[in-house]
Structures are given as C-alpha cells and as structure tokens.
Amino acid sequence: MIRNRLLRTTLLSLFLSLLLAACGDAERTPSEAAQEAVAEVEETAEAASEATEENPFFSVSTLPNQMPPFGRIEDEHFVPAMERGMAEQLDEVETIASNPEPPTFENTIVAMERSGRLLDRVTAVFFNLVGADTNDARQEIQREMSPRLSAHSDAIRLNPELFARIEALHQQRDALELNPRQMRLLEQYRRDFVRAGATLDEDQKKRLREINGQLARLGTEFSQNVLKEVNDSAIVVESAAELEGLSEGQIQSAADEAAERGHEGKYVLTLMNYSSQPQLTALANRDVRQRLMEASLARGSRANEFDNREIVSRVLRLRAEKAVMLGYETHADFVLEERTAKTVDAVDEMLGQLAPVSVANARKEGEALQAMIDETEQAQFELRSWDWPFYAEKVRQREYDFDESEIKPYFELESVLVNGVFHAAEQVYGITFEERPDLPVYHPDVRVWEVFDTDGERLAIFLGDFYARASKRGGAWMNAYVSQSGLLGTAPVVANHQNIPKPPEGEPTLMTLDEVTTMFHEFGHALHGMFSSVEYPSFSGTSVPRDFVEYPSQVNELWATWPSILENYARHHETGERIPQELLDRVLEAEKFNEGYRTTEYLAASILDMCYHTLPAGEIPASDDILAFEAACLEQAGIAYDPVPTRYRTTYFSHIMGGYSAGYYSYIWSEVLDADSVKWFKENGGLSRANGNHFRETLLSKGGSKEAMQLFRDFAGREPDIQALLERRGLAPVEGTGEATGPM
C-alpha cells in the first residue's frame, strides 16, 4: 500500500503519461499499452517503497539524544523526507483546525507544538549541512525546496480555521487558568499568526504568499552566490617572494591551493567572508595586499554570475511591501517589534551614541599608523584599507612588544578546546565531557562529545566542526540538530562551527587570539542550548529575540582570558610550558588596541543594515544605485572613513539577507548586557560554581519562556548600563564627540 499522498499523486501522473505515450504507438493495442504502463508504475512504486523504508528520517534516531544518523543519510533522502514531512504536518494541522470540539490550550496550542516532527528532523539536518558542508546536489535541493517550504509555512499560518481557534483562545485567555509559560505561548502563537498575515483578506494573502516564495528563492540565490564567489575570487600570486611575511605553513597552503586549482608552481590566497582578510596582517608586499583587499571588496558587485546587486534591491522592495501590507511603516519596524530594542529610535539612539566615539578613536589610531608609514617607508603613501592590518600589527609589536607569531604557539586547538573551553565549563557549571569517536559525523573533520551533567546523567551531545573548507560558509555559528523539550521528551544535540585554516598534514593547529575568543563565544551559544530546561519546543534553547541571543555567548568569552583558565590552556604546543606571565600581561594590555577600528567596521555594517531597512517602499535603490546608496548612508551617519571598510559590504552581507535583517546591531546591543554581566561576575567572585549555577538557573535554562529583559534583570538584579561596554572597548570619549553613558 502506498501511504504517501504525494507519492500516490506522482505515480498516478506517471501512469497517465506512460499510458498516453504507449497508446500513441500504433504497434500496440490500448490493452497492451495499459498493461505495460501498469507494470512500469508498479516497478516505480516498488522502488519508491524500498527508498521509503531505507530513508533514515522516517523514524526517530536510536543514537544518543536522537542524534542524526549521519552515516546513513544520503542526499537523495532529503526531498522525500521533506515532502512526507510537509504532508504529515498538513494532515496534523487539518485535524487540529477541523476538530469539532471547542478549542482548548491542549487540543490546539499543545497539539501544534507536537506537529511537524518529521519535517523538523529533516530540515534541521539539511539546512545545517547546507551551511557546514554543501555540494551541488544540496544547493539544487535548497533552490527547489526553499520556496516550497515557505509555501508550506504559509499554508499553516494562513489557515483561517486554525487561526480562528487560536483567536478564540486568545479572546478568552484570562478565563483559561493558564500558568505564565502557557499564557506566553498562547500570546506568541497569536502574535506569530497575525505577523504572518492571518488577518489579511484573500487577495492580500495571495500576494503575501508570492512575496514569501520570492524572498525564499532570492535568499537562497544570494547565499549561494556569496559562497561560490568566495571560492572563485581568490587571487593568484606568481612567486613565494611576493608572500613575504606569511609563515612557511601559510605559503605551503597557498601552493597546495594553487596546485589544486590548476596553477602549478604559483600560489593562491583564498578569501573569507569579511571585507578585511587575515593575510593582510602579515603580507609585506603592498601590491599583493591591495589586490587581496580589492578582490574582497568587489565581491557580488561586478557584472558577472555572482552579481548580487539586483537580488539585494528586489529583496529590499519585497520586504518593504510586505511590511506595509502587515501594517508597519518599514521592514525595520516590523522586525524590531519582536526584539528587545522594540523600536527603530532605540536602535538609532544606541548606534548614534557609539558611532562618533568609535570613528574618532579609529581616526586617532589611523594617525598613528600613518606616522609609522611616514617614519619607516621610503616611498611615502597614504594609509588605505589594505595597509591598516599590516601597520596595526607593527604598531602593536612596538607598543606591546609582541605579535601574533609569538602567542600562537601557546594557542593550540586541542588545548584551547579541552583545557580551555571545556575546562571553563567544568569549573563554572560542573559539566564533563567524553569524546565519542564511535558516533557518525557528516565530515571527517567533525568531532563528537557526550556531555554529562553534575549528576552524571547525559545532558547533551556536542559536535565540533572547526576547520575552514570550500563547502562551508564563512563565519562561526552554533546550531541545534535536536532541541530540548519536556513535552516531546527530547534532549539537546548542538554543534559549533568555525573557519580556522587547516594546517598542512602533521602540523599543529595554532590559533589567533580572535579565533580563541570565537571558540569560547560559540560555546556560549552551545551552553544556551545544552542547559535548556523548558516544556514547549517553541521556547527551547536559543529561541530568544535576535538582539538577546548573542548575550549569553558573549558572557562566555569572559573565561577566555580569565587567569586560571588561560593558564590552564595557554601552553606551548611543543614544550608544554605555560605562556610567560610578562607576555600574557602584554597580550591582556593590548586587548583594547585597535578597538576603534574593530568597533567602527562593525558599527558601519550595523548602520548600513538600518539604512536599508528603514527605507519606505518607494525609496529602495535600484541595483545600479546600491553601492552609491551604501556610500551615502555611511557618509550621512558620520562613520565613513576610507581606511576602515564596513565589515561586510552590501553585496556579501549574508547576515541581512538571512535572520539578521534590521538586526545586525544585535551584537553590540547584546554586548551592553554582556559587559554589565561580566561586571556582575567580577563583583561577585568571578569563576565559581555558585555564580555559574545562578546564571544557568535564572537565564540559560529558561530559553524563551520568559521576557528577555526580565531574564537579564532576574540574573543581574538591575537594569543594564552602557558604560561597562565603553570601558571594556577602551572607547574613551574624544573631544567633540560627547560622552556615551547611561542605561539602554
């Protein structure tokens, strides 16, 4: 028996097409043609049935915490599992919506929370793999299925009968005797459906479906263009002499990359998805530096197959149209309603406080770099964006008497991870780790650990995927393959990803301080997922507002330079000796060095994001005007400073094409909370189990089950203040800029 409705429909269509084709053959009678068509359909059905039985997504994984069985998953499993998952969820939704019984919290809201389990399983794996280890087949599936999944979501959220039940419950909510978490969930469902268009008329719903489908297609196209061009736009260097300043390992990696791309005897420098590139810190050859930076800045804005300008313009127009349709002035107003910031004015006020201070500090730093150029270079030239990282490193060496090459031998990946990141979690929270090489992974570089709670019971499964590769998107992130839920009886399976360059075979992985800090940061997200202790899946783990989600992870960065943690992991990879105290002191003193640059490049991107998403629908720039608009936005905000490029230019700014549209400010917004929380830890004794337990119980375990800012107040016992952030970043007010102080 064929159970899948979609498969039944497909086989019926196949039968009809085969029958028509067969009947067109004069050599065969209609009866013979029909028999042959039936035989072919039966063969197809048998093959489909076998594939169904073999599809690992069709049953719950028996691995620890329902970890995906990566060893059994093939690309051909994704589409059938998504199709069956959508069909099953629509059946479940129809059962809920057509229930003849009056709506209750259990038969409507809880039933919705239980729905879509198969679809959740397959999409969690698929979209995580698209980011971590994509290929041509997965990109094609993404192009095909993203609009279909968007339409599936619309089919649920625009279901009038289902919304009527939710609305009825919301109208009588005060009489339902719900506890605070149930009340919050009911209100969230009602709000989500309204924001998805449930109250629109049928013509508006039709147009909304069209918009959502187009946005899904365009977002996929944008992200795939970015990844393809990062891999395609590497620069070719003729000789090793032009790579002066890079380490032997880096030069060898460049030679290996060149050979792999068919440039035997030459060298290839690959790009990462930021404007500035890590090689610029060491490259002595100014012409090569310029080529590298210009290649980076041009991505997505040239008239080639990766040109993203038209995509950006179309996405902005569609978002603006959708916002107006839903009753908001702009896309930013629509987004921020669900964030802790709440309003455009609140975000603009914070960015307006920080931008003048940061760019003034960056200009002072630039003056110091120009002075070094004038002092040391025979051929005088003006400081440009490709010069900044190189001369900043020279100034840092002079002022703090160390460079990255001195400290990297003390930051070996295995030690940082086990003796640093894991050790800190053991000290603060009492959890322990056991590596599980027997569990299947999706790539040979991926590693797996079983995480145990203080009582010795399994808490979570943790995957670490730390190395860069062509099949992986840029940046660093955390994701959940399985989220914790008391209702569903599920426990966490979470993963961290970075893009650390993989050294040649047999050499150690030596990390920069930034990469070390990122590893601690991403593990903070992992802890947020691991410690989740909620009933409903909608509240699980990191299901908090976008401008709050970075906060717990940034708090975890505290332990990267905490003396007892640093001493435990910062050991020379060859001798095992601890990092010398005087070198450590210089490293810590230098933490605020170049902070004007780092803050300005970040704020420029945040301001650019808000510029785009506060535009009315009629003022969206055309594709040819995108870069001119970008320049004008930064100039008007007073943050345009040529030697400091925006961290991401519009055409490769993946955050704002994804979940961070009108939300890239979230990192600095969260850092206000983080800096104040770090201050709390220090005021209350720092690294201690008591402090860790307090943070876990009041905040990390709660997910989205409580209003976000109330979680902060529950933990810190006060409102947040921006001053702690300014002190951390060393952003002293510069004469004429005013002073940024006071609460958020």
Map out the domains of the chain as residue ranges.
Answer: 5-54, 64-175, 233-297
pLDDT score, position 365 = 95
- Identify the CA nearest to 486 among candidates 426, 534, 427: 534
Output the pTM of the full model: 0.83
Half-sphere exposure of 168 (CA within 13 A, CB side): 15
Catalytic positions are: 522
Alpha carbon distance 510, 214 (integer Å)? 43
Alpha carbon distance 323, 616 (integer Å)? 10
Kind of pairing between the strands at 267-269 and 447-452:
unpaired
Kind of pairing between the strands at 458-467 and 493-500:
parallel
Alpha carbon distance 419, 414 (integer Å)? 8
**What backbone torsions phi and psi does residue 478 show, to the nearest 5 degrees?**
-120, 145
Alpha carbon distance 427, 470 (integer Å)? 36
Alpha carbon distance 648, 275 (integer Å)? 6
pLDDT score, position 39 = 56
Give 105's contacts (C-beta < 8 A, 6+ positions apart).
Answer: 169, 176, 178, 182, 186
CB of 122 closer than 8 Å to CB of 82: yes
- H helix or E strand, kind and range, residue 92: helix 78-97
Q: Which residues of the chain have pLDDT under 70?
A: 1-53, 730-744
What distances in angstroms separate CA 159 from CA 94, 168, 213, 348, 632, one per listed residue? 9, 14, 17, 37, 43
What distances in angstroms separate CA 216 from CA 220, 304, 657, one per listed residue? 6, 22, 10
Q: 3-state class of 719 per DSSP?
A: coil
pLDDT score, position 189 = 97
pLDDT score, position 63 = 98
* Residue with tokens 């993946």, as numbered in its chain: 654
End-to-end CA distance of the chain: 61
pLDDT score, position 10 = 42
Structure-token pair, residue 464 = 């670490």
- Identify the CA nearest to 33 among candidates 12, 43, 19: 19
Structure-token pair, residue 133 = 């280890």
- Identify the CA nearest to 408 among candidates 416, 400, 397: 416
pLDDT score, position 274 = 86
Alpha carbon distance 491, 529 (integer Å)? 10
pLDDT score, position 397 = 87
Rounded to the nearest 10 degrees, the angle between the axes of helix 180-195 and helix 160-171 is 140
CB of 56 closer than 8 Å to CB of 125: no
Structure-token pair, residue 539 = 């509240």
> Greatest CA separation found in the chain?
94
Distance, CA of 229 to chain centre: 19
Alpha carbon distance 277, 281 (integer Å)? 8
What distances in angstroms separate CA 191 from CA 163, 184, 196, 679, one per listed residue? 11, 10, 8, 35
Q: 3-state class of 499 per DSSP?
A: strand
Alpha carbon distance 460, 437 (integer Å)? 15
Q: Which amino acid would we find at residue 551?
A: Y
H helix intervals, 560-688: 563-569, 581-589, 595-613, 626-636, 654-657, 666-683
* Coarse DSSP helix, strand, coil percentages of the chain, rounded to the nearest 5 percent: 60, 5, 30
Alpha carbon distance 48, 255 (integer Å)? 47
Q: Which amino acid would we find at residue 201?
A: D
Give 439's contacts (C-beta < 8 A, 6+ positions apart).
Answer: 63, 64, 67, 448, 461
pLDDT score, position 587 = 81
Half-sphere exposure of 657 (CA within 13 A, CB side): 28
What distances in angstroms separate CA 574 from CA 195, 403, 571, one per listed residue? 57, 19, 9
pLDDT score, position 46 = 53
pLDDT score, position 4 = 43
Half-sphere exposure of 193 (CA within 13 A, CB side): 23
CB of 126 closer than 8 Å to CB of 135: no
pLDDT score, position 743 = 36
